[in-house]
A and B are shown apart, each in its own frame.
Chain A
């Protein structure tokens, strides 16, 4: 599997051209995708606004089996005085129905989980 670290152009809400950071790597045999919010450098809608659609767009683009996906949303540190711009990672769990992701739920990664996923990445 090819490791990827790139800027990914995706279709946001209502077809708005949007952009995020994207990393792909293997984790315990599963395809792990990390999408990062680009804030001011994203001209469109946020990664969370279109979570299920973005996840599916990534799978289609990189030929990832949706059943074999670990999907993580990343909000980078903005070096802001405001605590709500601190770095956070969320594993997003989906149901897959009729080939589409639905019912996303987010689970913030603990420090141990971050180390587990991202060690050496």
Chain B
């Protein structure tokens, strides 16, 4: 059975460095497919979709709200040809009702252990409109290595430098943060993979640089210590979201290869200042993630926050606009208060203002978002700051003999396209 799995493209945010990372959802999903399924993968962000596809069955995997409308277009085009289309992924779950209008089948939930049913139904011409496995989580120990072999690795390479591979060591989240849909998607609980299984998968990843995409590693210090201890011999270098603010955990994370973390910066407190310093004390870089437009932020608060970021020596910062994604408390609040101005999912990219802020106009918040990016990177560009962070990991790799020089044969290509090098 030929199954074409497609990852729709989305418009990248203006003014920011564009990198295409190998998507994680599709490779995890592919690992759940029955062995007899011949899966081929197209990431539309790096190569075009072939609408003359000879596949028997089309799958569309969507992560972002900004992918959904393109996903629906792709599905409509294939369905006009008589092909059947199955949707899955994070934003399928967030936009399920609308997605069903463009689908032969929608899968909600986690795919492990469920795909035999779906593909058997397809083969018997009895594909269901909906496979609802919401909150029926598979045994976390049953999650095996993702199918990274479906990726065309040359397309995730920038001038000879391979992009990080993505990996997850846990699912769900015990926190329930205001703007986040994770508890709707993965349940209000932390589900760590057994460390042995996580290490088994890490051992299969050829790339020495990774992005551990867990919602937050800081959910169990005991598990973190066990995981990091086991990771040390693998000598991977990795990025992640927050790590437990505990000296023992941070020390072990650094030994295990922690390169830098995404850390939410939500105020100008000494706590945040010290948190960043503590990461730095252990040689771990920090990319501050800064949410603009919360109801407790005035224009002065935002400007003060930007100044603060420059004082605390953040390695990088990523600014986003508060966005009322479906199934979040933000969405509920904004809906009740009649403050959602735009329901075009293409604009739900965390870079456009789609709601009425509390203390300013939408236009002014949009201006402050642009101001934040310009101000933080005024004296040193994002590319230069990233290069500095990148240099640190290269030095570490040279020290432990894991450094790999860039691939010379790809030096004139960026994500599959020819580029002119200036240096």
| Interface positions of A from 27 to 44, Cβ below 8 Å from B | 39-40, 43-44
Sorting the interface of chain A by its residue count into under 10, 10 to 19, 20 to 34 or 35 or more gives 20 to 34
**Residue numbers in A under 8 Å from B335 (CB-CB):** 48, 106
Closest residue on chain B to residue A42 by CB atoms: B188
Say yes or no: B336 contacts A90, CB within 8 Å: yes
**Residue numbers in B under 8 Å from A40 (CB-CB):** 176, 188
B327 at interface by CB-CB < 8 Å: yes
Partner of A49, one of B108, B135, B327, B338: B327
**Residue numbers in B under 8 Å from A17 (CB-CB):** 135
Say yes or no: A82 contacts B327, CB within 8 Å: no
Interchain nearest-CB distance for B136 vs A (Å): 10
**Residue numbers in B under 8 Å from A75 (CB-CB):** 333
A115 at interface by CB-CB < 8 Å: no
B371 at interface by CB-CB < 8 Å: no
Interface readout for A82-107 with B: 1 if CB under 8 Å, 0 if not?
Answer: 11110010100000000000000110
| Interface positions of A from 1 to 60, Cβ below 8 Å from B | 13-17, 39-40, 43-46, 48-49
Say yes or no: A45 contacts B333, CB within 8 Å: no
B225 at interface by CB-CB < 8 Å: no
Closest residue on chain A to residue B296 by CB atoms: A83
**Residue numbers in A under 8 Å from B294 (CB-CB):** 82, 84
A116 at interface by CB-CB < 8 Å: no
Closest residue on chain A to residue B330 by CB atoms: A84
Q: Chain A: interface secondary structure?
A: mixed
Say yes or no: B96 contacts A14, CB within 8 Å: yes
**Residue numbers in A under 8 Å from B108 (CB-CB):** 14
Say yes or no: A83 contacts B295, CB within 8 Å: yes
B178 at interface by CB-CB < 8 Å: yes
Say yes or no: A16 contacts B332, CB within 8 Å: no
* Distance between Cα atoms of A83 and B188 in the complex (Å): 23
Closest residue on chain A to residue B179 by CB atoms: A84
Known: A13-B134, A45-B184, A82-B178. A106 touches B296 (CB 8 A): no
Say yes or no: B332 contacts A49, CB within 8 Å: yes
Say yes or no: B338 contacts A84, CB within 8 Å: no
Known: A73-B336, A106-B338. A84 touches B134 (CB 8 A): no
B401 at interface by CB-CB < 8 Å: no
| Interface positions of B from 330 to 384, Cβ below 8 Å from A | 330, 332-333, 335-338
* Distance between Cα atoms of A46 and B176 in the complex (Å): 12
Interchain nearest-CB distance for A2 vs B (Å): 29
Known: A40-B176, A83-B295. A45 touches B188 (CB 8 A): no
Closest residue on chain A to residue B108 by CB atoms: A14
Say yes or no: B135 contacts A108, CB within 8 Å: no
Interchain nearest-CB distance for B173 vs A (Å): 12
| Interface positions of B from 92 to 139, Cβ below 8 Å from A | 96, 108, 132, 134-135
Known: A15-B132, A82-B178. A106 touches B336 (CB 8 A): yes
Interchain nearest-CB distance for B174 vs A (Å): 9
* Distance between Cα atoms of A49 and B334 in the complex (Å): 12
**Residue numbers in A under 8 Å from B40 (CB-CB):** none
Residue positions of A touching B, CB distance < 8 A:
13-17, 39-40, 43-46, 48-49, 73, 75, 82-85, 88, 90, 105-106, 108
Residue positions of B touching A, CB distance < 8 A:
96, 108, 132, 134-135, 176, 178, 184, 188, 294-296, 327, 329-330, 332-333, 335-338
A-B pairs with the 6 shortest C-beta distances? Answer: A48-B332, A106-B336, A14-B134, A83-B296, A84-B295, A90-B336
**Besides the known contacts A88-B336, A106-B335, 10 further A-B residue pairs in the complex with CB atoms under 8 A apart:** A15-B132, A15-B134, A40-B188, A46-B329, A46-B332, A48-B335, A82-B178, A84-B329, A84-B333, A106-B337
